[in-house]
C-alpha cells in the first residue's frame, strides 16, 4: 500500500519541502510539497534525485574494511566498531590526541544529530586538528560575524523579498539556490525585484546564470571584490552620504573604518577590480539612493584572496548605506533553534584560539583550514597527524592540491570514514562505516533557518524505517564517542551522567537536544505547560511546517556583544584592510596566465550525486569555459581536449568556448574527477571529469583565517600535444591492519 511522507530536502540550504510517495521500500515519486510553509512548492532536479541515491546499488549498506589489494570487503558492525576504537585509542595513547585529525564535509550542516555531536567527537578524540568544508566556503564569513556580532552563526541575510536593489557579489543563487541565504526559488524572487521596479546587479567574472537575468552584470577581476566593496563605501563617505549618528546607534568603531578606507577611491581600485571608476561611483550612488538595498556576497568571494575583508566590506556597505536591519536591506533571521548559548557553553565558537602545527594557521569556529591536512600528515615531529576520521566529506576532491592529500592519506597509520559511498577520499580508509542515511532518519534544520529569508520551522519524519541492524550517523558517532571514553556533550562535567544513564538503559537522543533548544528558543514554551509556545510535540503535528513570520527589523536583538553594538574596531580586521590598501596596485595575473575560477552546475552537488544517472546524463558538465579570444590565443577549439597547467599540476580538460567569461578568466566546476573511484561508483566513473582542486594550491591561503584561495589561480592553457596529459593513478594500498 502506498503512503505519503512530507520531508524537508537536506541537500542544500534552500530547505525545500518534498512529498514522497512511497510503496514499501520503494520511492514511487518525489514531488514538491505545495503546502510547505517555506518553499511553497518549489524543488530542483536534485531534490527529485534523492530517490535514486536511496536506491543506488553502489551506496554502502554494511561496514567495509580495506584489504591489502586496495579493494574492500564487508565486515560486521561489532568488528568494525571494535577495530576503529582500538586503533584510534592506540594512536592516541602512543602519539597524543592531536595525532588524529578530523574532516567534516558539507552534509554535516544538514544533519542535526551529527551537528549536536560535533564537539563531542573532537573532545573524545582529544584533538584540535579538526577541519571541515568551512575552510573552503565560509570561514571568512564566520570570523567576521564572530567579531562584528559576537557569534559566528549570526549572519545577515539580504531581504530579497522586499528589496528594491539587490547587489549580488560572487554568488550564483540561480544555480546554487543560495548559500547563507536560504530562499527556495530564488529565480522567482529575483524576477519579482525587477517586476516591482527594483534593480538586480550581479558582480562575477563570468556572466553566470544569475547574471544573465540581472539588470546589470559587472565582470570583476577574480579577487577584486574586497577592493570593489570598500570603494563603494569610500564613495558614500567621500560624497557625504553617511548618517554617522545612525551608524553610532548600531556600531562602534566607525571612525576607524572611515580612516582605513580612505585609500579605496574608485580610481585606485581599477587595477585590482577591472571595473572603471565611473561605474563604481554610479553603483555606490544607486545603492544609496534606492528606496531599499541589500548587498550580499558569497562563495566566489569567500574562497578568494581577501575573502575576510570582502565579507566585512559587504556588511560595512549595508551599514554605511543605512540598510543594516532595515526591511529590504540586510536583516537577521530569528531562528527557532537558538544554538548560540550551546556553542558558547561548549566553547565551540571563536577565532585564532589555537593554530596549526606546521604552518601556524588559525582556527575559526573550532576548525583549522583543511588545506593543512597533507602537510600535517607528511611533516614528522610531535603532533604529526597519523590517523584521520572523515565524516560526510571528500577532501581529495574538495580541498586545494587534492593530489597531494590523496598521496598523504597513504602515509596514515589509520583512517576511518563515515560515508554513503566509496569515493576518492574514503577509498583510502581502513574502515568505512555507512549510515542508514537521511531518508531513514528524522530531521530538523539547526543552521539554515538562521540564514533564511523568512522565519519558519519544520520537523521531518523518516521516509523509511531504518533497516534492522543499521545505524544512523549520530548513532555511529555516539558509539565511537562512548568507546573512546567520552559522552554526547563533550563536557566532562556532564558526560559521566550520560555514561551512567546508558548503563541503566537511558539513552541520549538528538531529538531531546532539538526539543530543548526549541523550547528555550525565541518561540519556545519554556517548559511551561500553559504556554502557547512551541515544543517538538507541537511541531510534529504540523507536517508542512510552521510559519514564524517575516524577518524582524533591527540589529541589536541578534547581537551577542554586551553593548548590543556591532564591533568594527577589531585589530585583526583593520590590519587586513590596511594590507589590502598597500597591495591595491598589484596586478593579479602574469603575462600569458589565465585566471582559473570555479562554478557549480544545477544538477551537481559538490563531489557527490554524480552516481545518479539522471544527474549526469546529457551534455558533459565538467568543461572549462574559455572566452573565444583566449581560446584562439591558445589554439584550442570548442569541444577539444586541451592541457591546463600551473605550478601544481598539468592535466587535460575539455574546452567549451563561451563569451560569458571575462577575457583572461576560465571556469571549471569543482567536485569532479572520479577516475579513482570508478570501481565503486560506476555511473560517476563513467562521467569522471577532472578535479579543479588538482590545480589549486594548498599553500595559497587568505591572510586572516587561512581560507583556501580556490578562485583566481594563474594557469596556462595549451593545445594538446600527442601523448600529453595524464591519468589519476591509484595510490599504492596501505598495508592491511
Ligand atoms: N575549487 C573549489 N573547491 C571547492 C569549492 C569551490 O567552489 N571551488 N566549494 C567548496 C564547498 S562550498 C564545499 S561545501 C566543499 C564540499 O566538499 P566536501 O564537504 O568535502 O564534500 P562533498 O563533496 O559535499 O561530499 C559529501 C560526502 O558526504 C557523503 N554523504 C552525503 N550524505 C551523507 C550523510 O547523510 N551521511 C554521511 N555520513 N555521508 C553523507 C557523500 O557520499 C560524499 O562522499 O567543496 C569545496 N571545494
Ligand atoms: N546545484 C548546486 N547547488 C549547490 C551546490 C552544488 O554543488 N550544486 N553546492 C552548495 C554549496 S556547498 C554551497 S557553499 C553553495 C554556494 O553557492 P554560491 O555562493 O552561490 O556559489 P557558486 O554557485 O559557486 O557561485 C559562485 C560564483 O562566484 C563567481 N566567482 C568566482 N570567482 C569570483 C571572484 O573573484 N569574484 C566574484 N565576484 N565572483 C567570483 C563564480 O563565477 C560563480 O558564479 O551552493 C550550494 N548549492
Ligand atoms: S533547491 Fe536544494 S533544498 Fe531545494 S530541492 Fe533542490 S537540493 Fe533540495
Ligand atoms: Mo559549501
> Domain range holding 598?
590-719
Q: Measured from the CB, is residue 107 less than 6 Å from ligand 1?
A: yes
Considering every ligand atom shown, identify the ligand nearest to the alpha carbon of residue 229 and give its number.
Answer: 2
- Over residues 573-590, the pLDDT tens digits come to 999 999 999 999 876 555
**CA 18 to CA 409: how far, in whole Å?**
38
Write down the pLDDT at residue 728.
Answer: 44
Same domain for 284 and 223 = yes
- Asked whether residue 117 is assigned to any structural domain, the reply reads yes
- Asked whether residue 188 is assigned to any structural domain, the reply reads yes
Number of other CB atoms surrounding residue 701 within 10 Å: 22
Write down the pLDDT at residue 735.
Answer: 40
Q: Domain tally for the chain?
A: 4
Considering every ligand atom shown, identify the ligand nearest to the alpha carbon of residue 30 and give its number.
Answer: 3
Which segment of 155-164, 352-361, 433-442, 571-580 scores lowest on mean pLDDT? 433-442
Considering every ligand atom shown, identify the ligand nearest to the alpha carbon of residue 12 and give its number.
Answer: 3
Same domain for 164 and 222 = yes
Q: Measured from the CB, is residue 11 less than 6 Å from ligand 3?
A: yes
Q: Measured from the CB, is residue 203 less than 6 Å from ligand 2?
A: yes
Same domain for 111 and 49 = no
Nearest to 134 by CA among 706, 560, 669: 706
**CA 446 to CA 433: how far, in whole Å?**
24
Same domain for 246 and 208 = yes
Q: Measured from the CB, is residue 53 less than 6 Å from ligand 3?
A: no
**280 dihedral zone (left: phi>0; alpha: psi -120 to 50; beta):** alpha
Ligand 1 atom closest to the CA of 423, numbered from 1: 44
Q: What share of the chain has pLDDT > 90, as a percent?
A: 94
Q: Measured from the CB, is residue 273 less than 6 Å from ligand 2?
A: no
Write down the pLDDT at residue 345.
Answer: 75
- This prediction's pTM: 0.96
The residue whose CA is least distant from atom 39 of ligand 2 is 170
**CA 77 to CA 62: how far, in whole Å?**
8
Q: Is 181 exposed, middle or buried (0-12, 13-18, 19+ CB in 10 A)?
A: buried
What phi and psi values does residue 268 have, to the nearest 5 degrees? Answer: -80, -15
Spacing, Cα 429 to ligand 3 middle (Å): 30
* pLDDT over 70 (residue 284): yes
* pLDDT over 80 (residue 612): yes
Residue appearing with cell numbers 611533516: 379
SS3 244: helix
Write down the pLDDT at residue 737.
Answer: 39
Q: Measured from the CB, is residue 16 less than 6 Å from ligand 3?
A: yes
- Asked whether residue 178 is assigned to any structural domain, the reply reads yes
Ligand 3 atom closest to the CA of 605, numbered from 1: 7
- Over residues 449-507, the pLDDT tens digits come to 999 999 999 999 999 999 999 999 999 999 999 999 999 999 999 999 999 999 999 99
Nearest to 299 by CA among 164, 392, 177, 447: 177
Write down the pLDDT at residue 736.
Answer: 39
Q: Measured from the CB, is residue 395 less than 6 Å from ligand 1?
A: yes
Write down the pLDDT at residue 729.
Answer: 41
Evaluate whether 481 touches 488 at the Cβ level (below 8 Å): yes
Same domain for 274 and 190 = yes
Same domain for 307 and 170 = yes
Average pLDDT over residues 529-556: 97
Write down the pLDDT at residue 727.
Answer: 45
- Asked whether residue 427 is assigned to any structural domain, the reply reads yes
Spacing, Cα 105 to ligand 1 middle (Å): 5
Q: Last residue of a domain, which of 418, 433, 448?
A: 433
* pLDDT over 90 (residue 101): yes
- Asked whether residue 498 is assigned to any structural domain, the reply reads no
CA dihedral 602, 603, 608, 609 (to 10 degrees): 150
Spacing, Cα 694 to ligand 2 middle (Å): 18
Q: Last residue of a domain, which of 30, 55, 80?
A: 55
Write down the pLDDT at residue 269.
Answer: 98
- Asked whether residue 20 is assigned to any structural domain, the reply reads yes
Q: Measured from the CB, is residue 135 less than 6 Å from ligand 1?
A: no
**CA 481 to CA 483: how far, in whole Å?**
6
Same domain for 281 and 197 = yes
Spacing, Cα 667 to ligand 3 middle (Å): 24
Spacing, Cα 176 to ligand 2 middle (Å): 6
CATH number reported for the structural domain that contains residue 127 in this entry? 3.40.50.740
CATH number reported for the structural domain that contains residue 594 in this entry? 2.40.40.20
Spacing, Cα 621 to ligand 3 middle (Å): 19
Spacing, Cα 263 to ligand 2 middle (Å): 29
Write down the pLDDT at residue 642.
Answer: 98
Write down the pLDDT at residue 730.
Answer: 39
Considering every ligand atom shown, identify the ligand nearest to the alpha carbon of residue 400 and give its number.
Answer: 1
- Over residues 171-185, the pLDDT tens digits come to 999 999 999 999 999
Q: Measured from the CB, is residue 626 less than 6 Å from ligand 3?
A: no
Same domain for 291 and 256 = yes
Same domain for 89 and 31 = no
Write down the pLDDT at residue 556.
Answer: 96
CATH number reported for the structural domain that contains residue 172 in this entry? 3.40.228.10
Ligand 1 atom closest to the CA of 425, numbered from 1: 44
The residue whose CA is least distant from atom 46 of ligand 2 is 176
Same domain for 24 and 98 = no
Q: Measured from the CB, is residue 609 less than 6 Å from ligand 3?
A: no
Q: Measured from the CB, is residue 706 less than 6 Å from ligand 3?
A: no
Same domain for 663 and 631 = yes
Spacing, Cα 626 to ligand 2 middle (Å): 18
* pLDDT over 80 (residue 252): yes
Spacing, Cα 85 to ligand 4 middle (Å): 30
- Asked whether residue 533 is assigned to any structural domain, the reply reads no
- Over residues 400-411, the pLDDT tens digits come to 999 999 999 999
Q: Last residue of a domain, which of 433, 456, 485?
A: 433
- Asked whether residue 471 is assigned to any structural domain, the reply reads no
The residue whose CA is least distant from atom 32 of ligand 1 is 107
Same domain for 708 and 618 = yes
pLDDT band at 732 (very low <50, low <70, confident <90, very high): very low
Q: Measured from the CB, is residue 606 less than 6 Å from ligand 1?
A: yes
CATH number reported for the structural domain that contains residue 51 in this entry? 3.30.200.210
- Over residues 28-52, the pLDDT tens digits come to 999 999 999 999 999 999 999 999 9
Q: How far is CA 302 from CA 176, 223, 693, 705, 706, in A?
A: 15, 10, 16, 11, 11
Alpha helices for 544-637 (secondary structure H): 571-582, 613-616, 628-634
Amino acid at each position: 500500500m502506498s503512503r505519503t511522507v512530507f520531508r524537508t530536502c537536506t541537500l542544500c540550504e534552500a530547505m525545500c519541502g518534498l512529498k514522497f510517495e512511497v510503496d514499501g521500500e520503494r520511492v514511487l515519486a518525489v514531488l514538491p510539497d505545495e503546502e510547505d510553509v517555506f518553499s511553497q512548492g518549489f524543488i530542483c532536479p536534485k531534490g527529485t534525485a534523492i530517490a535514486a541515491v536511496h536506491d543506488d546499488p553502489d551506496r554502502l549498506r554494511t561496514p567495509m574494511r580495506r584489504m591489502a589489494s586496495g579493494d574492500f570487503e564487508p565486515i560486521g558492525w561489532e568488528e568494525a566498531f571494535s577495530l576503529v576504537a582500538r586503533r584510534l585509542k592506540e594512536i592516541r595513547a602512543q602519539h597524543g590526541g592531536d595525532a588524529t585529525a578530523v574532516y567534516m564535509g558539507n552534509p554535516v550542516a544538514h544533519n542535526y544529530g551529527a551537528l549536536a555531536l560535533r564537539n563531542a567527537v573532537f573532545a573524545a578524540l582529544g584533538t584540535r586538528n579538526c577541519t571541515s568544508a568551512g575552510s573552503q566556503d565560509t570561514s571568512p564569513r564566520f570570523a567576521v560575524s564572530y567579531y562584528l556580532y559576537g557569534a559566528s552563526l549570526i549572519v545577515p541575510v539580504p531581504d530579497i523579498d522586499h528589496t528594491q536593489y539587490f547587489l549580488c557579489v560572487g554568488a550564483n543563487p540561480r544555480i546554487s539556490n543560495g548559500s547563507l541565504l536560504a530562499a527556495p526559488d530564488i529565480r522567482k524572487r529575483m524576477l519579482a525585484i525587477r517586476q516591482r521596479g527594483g534593480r538586480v546587479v550581479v558582480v562575477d567574472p563570468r556572466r553566470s546564470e544569475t547574471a544573465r537575468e540581472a539588470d546589470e552584470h559587472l565582470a570583476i577581476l577574480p579577487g577584486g571584490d574586497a577592493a570593489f566593496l570598500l570603494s563603494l563605501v569610500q564613495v558614500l563617505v567621500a560624497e557625504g552620504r553617511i548618517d554617522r549618528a545612525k551608524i553610532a546607534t548600531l556600531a562602534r568603531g566607525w571612525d576607524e573604518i572611515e580612516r582605513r578606507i580612505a585609500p579605496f577611491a574608485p580610481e585606485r581600485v581599477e587595477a585590482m577590480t577591472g571595473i572603471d571608476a565611473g561605474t563604481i561611483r554610479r553603483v555606490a550612488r544607486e545603492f544609496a539612493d534606492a528606496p531599499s538595498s541589500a548587498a550580499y556576497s558569497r562563495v566566489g568571494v569567500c574562497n578568494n584572496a581577501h575573502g575576510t575583508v570582502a565579507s566585512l566590506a559587504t556588511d560595512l556597505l549595508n551599514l554605511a548605506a543605512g540598510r543594516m536591519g532595515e526591511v529590504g536591506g540586510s536583516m537577521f533571521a530569528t531562528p527557532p533553534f537558538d544554538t548560540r548559548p550551546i556553542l558558547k557553553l561548549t566553547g565551540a565558537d571563536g577565532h585564532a584560539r589555537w593554530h596549526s602545527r606546521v604552518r601556524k594557521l588559525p582556527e575559526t569556529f573550532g576548525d583549522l583550514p583543511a588545506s593543512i591536512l597533507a602537510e600535517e600528515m607528511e611533516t614528522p615531529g610531535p603532533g604529526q597527524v597519523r590517523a584521520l576520521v572523515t565524516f560526510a566529506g571528500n577532501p581529495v576532491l574538495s580541498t586545494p592540491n587534492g593530489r597531494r592529500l590523496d598521496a598523504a592519506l597513504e602515509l596514515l597509520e589509520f583512517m576511518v570514514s563515515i560515508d554513503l559511498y566509496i569515493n576518492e577520499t574514503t577509498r583510502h580508509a581502513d574502515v568505512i562505516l555507512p549510515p542508514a542515511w537521511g531518508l531513514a532518519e528524522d530531521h530538523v534544520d539547526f543552521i539554515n533557518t538562521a540564514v533564511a529569508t523568512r522565519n519558519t520551522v519544520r520537523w521531518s519524519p523518516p521516509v523509511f524505517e531504518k533497516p534492522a541492524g543499521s545505524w544512523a550517523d549520530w548513532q555511529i558517532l555516539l558509539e565511537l564517542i562512548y568507546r573512546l571514553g567520552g559522552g554526547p556533550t563533550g563536557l566532562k562535567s556532564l558526560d559521566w551522567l550520560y555514561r551512567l544513564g546508558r548503563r541503566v538503559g537511558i539513552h541520549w537522543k538528538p531529538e531531546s537536544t532539538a526539543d530543548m533548544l526549541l523550547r528555550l528558543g525565541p518561540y519556545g514554551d519554556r517548559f511551561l505547560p500553559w504556554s502557547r509556545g512551541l515544543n517538538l510535540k507541537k511541531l510534529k503535528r504540523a507536517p508542512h511546517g510552521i510559519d514564524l513570520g517575516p524577518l524582524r527589523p533591527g540589529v541589536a536583538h541578534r547581537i551577542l556583544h554586551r553593548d548590543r553594538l556591532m564591533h568594527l574596531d577589531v585589530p585583526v580586521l583593520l590590519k587586513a584592510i590596511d594590507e589590502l590598501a598597500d597591495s591595491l596596485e598589484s596586478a593579479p595575473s602574469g603575462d600569458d596566465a589565465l585566471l582559473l575560477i570555479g562554478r557549480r552546475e544545477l544538477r551537481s552537488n559538490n563531489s557527490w550525486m554524480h552516481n545518479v544517472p539522471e544527474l549526469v546524463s546529457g551534455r558533459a558538465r565538467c568543461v572549462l569555459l574559455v572566452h573565444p579570444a583566449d581560446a584562439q590565443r591558445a589554439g584550442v577549439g570548442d569541444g577539444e581536449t586541451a592541457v591546463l597547467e600551473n605550478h601544481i599540476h598539468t592535466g587535460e580538460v575539455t574546452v567549451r568556448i563561451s563569451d560569458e567569461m571575462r577575457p583572461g578568466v576560465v571556469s571549471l566546476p569543482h567536485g569532479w574527477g572520479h577516475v579513482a573511484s570508478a570501481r565503486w561508483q560506476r555511473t560517476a566513473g563513467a562521467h569522471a571529469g577532472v578535479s579543479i582542486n588538482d590545480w589549486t594550491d594548498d599553500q595559497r591561503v587568505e591572510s586572516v583565517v587561512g581560507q583556501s584561495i580556490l578562485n583566481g589561480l594563474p594557469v596556462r592553457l595549451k593545445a594538446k600535444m600527442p601523448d600529453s596529459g595524464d591519468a589519476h593513478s591509484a595510490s599504492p594500498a596501505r598495508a592491511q591492519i
